Structure 1
């Protein structure tokens, strides 16, 4: 199947739309005609890590199933679906309902190919001697007009606008899942959210939908204003006067932020970490023990997308989760402008619309 794809050759060169060819779907795969795709920080980190290697990224795709493999029975041609991260469905973690920790997570989501090493995407004019194309990003590579994905990663979302649904594949899933699956605050609890980008803001809205008091620490004024508009208390930094938290979510991964946030927790509080920072951080283990604190890592909200995405869609339809307020659409070809606007804080969550959308 032909597709227009957004080709990246490193962070210092502009991206470009080029023609490509997708493999036909294998028995357990589908081809999704992409209607919208969110821009996630992980896409930018991956682009930098790949250097000059040509790549088609994107892992928050939403669109309509155009073709389905012969063994696919969970989605049908014509269904609008969100494509989330890939998992095998067979390992111990997958069977236990924790597919984000799948035994094959790295090869499925970050190898650039299928598990057997076969490519899913080919440039129509591959230049001789070029580095191999990196695709199948998070099992999809959805910065494109069409993407090939495992049917297991596709979740039907009905008639939700694709630009609002797309970030449910990763960013919104991570923030909401961290609240609902890891921290689990209830009415009367206070949640401290450090960093109110897309992940943090999704966590804020989810916690508010649970009747939780939310305090946001965020240096960008526009993001603080958004949090306040929806009912949170917002401060510029963790050094500002604020009440202690029952639990906390850190989206920055910065060592100084982690240690400061732990100090702001009430006894037996939990700090969940979803931001990647340095490999090591100094933690006062004595303080951790004596105050009964927990420091928890969290990947993809520790969510099974097939369960959490429909729940978040329901909350949106009930008016409890205004995710639409977090997104700003851009044409797919304007990827670099969207990234620049996100970095300056002008927009919170850019969502790209392919040419046919």
Structure 2
């Protein structure tokens, strides 16, 4: 067992290095792999290599693409972990932050900050407003489910879809009422965009992801118990209502912060946990960390495709994840019949 874990860890590290290298190297202006890592190492340890590249190449690698790839990994990991937790929490394989309306709520909060309030709290304004919107959407789903007295998995998804439509409409209203000069940028961001990634901003999604993983991973077995039913969890000494509230707030925080920096990217939270469970089983001790890793790799490569398919223009990454995720989901449905 320990040797298999070590082999898997080594494989994931190799895949991460290759994916980051490809993500930084490939684009409208391709840069050789050797040059990429020479620039990176020189930035970390100056004068290690003789400078054989131009200032433009150095700026593309260090200032543009490298933070973009890191942001893609953070967002992919965050959304995939959120999907895995929500699917176990709701005992619904269709649950993810996009379908349950959490992403729409987060986008609503971010649009409110970007177009109407301004950065009243500095760089934390958009993440905080996005988190508040995600939390509001989560509460709305819980309220609709409670008012309709229907707690089945199907009804929960329907409640989430309804809430998503409401918050999407409210977000569109904010865009309609906003400054026309800024709306094009916001609309592009809503479709999923990593193009504004900057080193000084990465501390926020990185810190939130690290904190949420530190909270969630030790509770993987409790999440397993909750996935088997409230009665089972209660017999094992879990305070179900408090634990469920903690998980909802944590997933809202993860979704809100990731949406604040990347826009609303769909299907990562739905498809990645499905794939992980097909390969590694349903135990969240394995599902959560593997979902984080596969989610990060998935979004790195989705971003590469988005940059290459219409080069030199960037296609919104949400279009790529929507197309690939939708087709993959259809295949899963066909095979499950």
Q: Tell me the TM-score normalized by structure 2.
A: 0.28
Q: Which has the higher strand share?
A: 1
Q: Which has the higher helix share?
A: 2
Task: Return the structure number with greater relative CO, CA threshold 8 A, min gap 6.
Answer: 2
